[in-house]
């Protein structure tokens, strides 16, 4: 019962927007007296009790109406939050304003007439003038809100885009740094050297796969620099890169490492941040013992429902490995920013989930569905 009450409280929690506060400060001081004058005529200005009473009553009616509209505005803005949904958001806001405010005005006029409040009597054209004036105010209010909202949303999207670009560049830098560091190059060239003399055909294949690895890294970096959707790649492209990258590892470690891939054809067209899988494979190699008698098995497989599992058996190295968790942090940050950018209601997948259970280190990733333009 308490959880239901808490949920209900959160659902109906209301906090006024800045626009409502500015309206109360800048619009109400002249709008309420003007509407009241249109309603009561010169008596409103020449009779102090009428002036005070009618102003207070109309201010309370206006405040209640504006709070209802403000609440509805917040709901609509949450439901249609993206810049691409401006038309839907604007249409619903105009519909709400043009429906609720006339209803409140007509109800207030009926009350004034029914109880003859402040000496009110129906005057020809009064209702039409008040409704027309209200329509103008509604258009201005909705236009002001939409202009401010769209500008703030545009700024927010630009900031998120810059953050995503920064995180992407950081992950590319870390990946490229790991591939060109002296230790990696020494081991790679050492593997190549041992192949050249004894197995020249395998050496040639090794060089081809090594070239593919660096080509993918450079292409990914160039896409980000050009800002042409460098923040996402297809699972098929990422897997092609992983196969080349794993070829280098397999040449070095032999039977000590294994890659098991189980992916349906439909998932290969899905999207994910580039170098995500490479970071996870690299992480597994960095932190675990690799030996023919204790092979490191890395699995990449679909979990269904737009989820991808990357896991490896845990056999930690006896010597402590220095780790700053940059790889996992970058992956999590990328997905979080992508979810914010593409966060239309009902389209976001759950985030990255990391767990260590049953002797496995597992990372569960969302696969993003490409949108048709």
For residue 223, give both structure tokens: 């896409």
Q: How does DSSP assign 15-38, residue by residue? A: ---HHHHHIIIIIHHHHHHHHHHH
Distances (CA, A) of 159 to 85, 165, 336, 352: 19, 10, 14, 22
- Type and span of the H or E element at 124: none
The residues, any chain, with a CB within 8 Å of residue 122's CB and separated by 6 or more, are 113
**Structure tokens that stand for 250 in this block:** 């397999």
The percent of residues above 90 in pLDDT, for the chain, comes to 47
3-state DSSP assignment of residue 240: helix
Instruction: Give the mean pLDDT of 104-119.
Output: 92
pLDDT at 296: 96
- pLDDT above 70 covers what percent of the chain? 82
pTM to 2 decimal places: 0.58
* pLDDT recorded at residue 174: 60
Distances (CA, A) of 78 to 16, 85, 97, 145: 14, 11, 17, 14
The better pLDDT of the pair 216, 167 is held by 216
Please report the pLDDT score of residue 344 as a whole number.
38
What's the pLDDT tens digit per position in 14-43?
Answer: 788 888 888 889 889 999 999 999 899 999
Stretch (H or E) spanning 344: none
Give the max Cα distance, the chain.
Answer: 109
Question: Tens digits of per-residue pLDDT, 357-368?
Answer: 889 999 999 998
How many residues can be counted in the chain?
373
Contact 216, 244 (CB under 8 A): yes
Q: How many Cα atoms sit within 13 Å of 267 on the Cβ side?
A: 21
Contact 252, 187 (CB under 8 A): yes
Which residues in 322-359 belong to E strands, given as ranges?
Answer: 353-357
Confidence category of residue 66, pLDDT binned at 50, 70, 90: very high
């Amino acid at each position: 019962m308490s959880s239901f009450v808490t949920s209900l409280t959160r659902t109906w929690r209301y906090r006024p927007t800045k626009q409502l506060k500015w309206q109360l400060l800048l619009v109400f001081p002249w709008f309420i007296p003007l509407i009241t004058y249109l309603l009561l005529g010169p008596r409103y200005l020449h009779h102090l009790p009428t002036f005070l009473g009618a102003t207070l009553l109309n201010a309370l009616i206006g405040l209640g109406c504006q709070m209802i509209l403000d609440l509805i505005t917040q709901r609509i803005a949450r439901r249609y939050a993206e810049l691409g949904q401006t038309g839907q958001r604007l249409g619903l806001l105009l519909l709400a304003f043009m429906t609720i405010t006339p209803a409140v005005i007509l109800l207030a006029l009926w009350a004034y007439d029914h109880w003859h409040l402040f000496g009110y009597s129906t005057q020809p054209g009064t209702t039409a003038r008040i409704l027309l004036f209200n329509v103008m105010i509604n258009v201005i209010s909705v236009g002001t809100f939409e202009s401010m909202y769209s500008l703030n949303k545009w700024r927010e999207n630009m900031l998120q885009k810059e953050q995503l670009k920064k995180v992407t560049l950081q992950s590319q830098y870390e990946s490229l740094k790991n591939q060109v560091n002296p230790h990696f190059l020494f081991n790679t060239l050492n593997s190549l050297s041992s192949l050249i003399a004894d197995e020249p055909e395998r050496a040639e294949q090794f060089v081809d796969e090594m070239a593919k690895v660096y080509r993918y890294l450079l292409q990914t970096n160039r896409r980000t620099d050009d800002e042409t959707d460098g923040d996402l790649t297809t699972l098929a492209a990422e897997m092609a890169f992983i196969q080349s990258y794993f070829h280098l590892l397999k040449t070095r470690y032999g039977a000590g490492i294994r890659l098991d891939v189980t992916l349906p054809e439909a998932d290969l067209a899905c999207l994910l941040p580039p170098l995500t899988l490479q970071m996870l494979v690299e992480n597994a190699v960095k932190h675990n013992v690799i030996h023919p008698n204790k092979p490191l098995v890395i699995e990449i497989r679909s979990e269904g429902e737009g989820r991808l599992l990357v896991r490896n058996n845990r056999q930690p190295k006896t010597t402590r490995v220095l780790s700053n968790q940059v790889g996992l942090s970058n992956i999590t940050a990328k997905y979080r920013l992508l979810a914010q950018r593409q966060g239309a209601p009902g389209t976001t997948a759950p985030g990255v989930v990391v767990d260590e259970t049953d002797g496995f280190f597992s990372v569960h990733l969302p696969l993003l569905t490409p949108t048709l333009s």
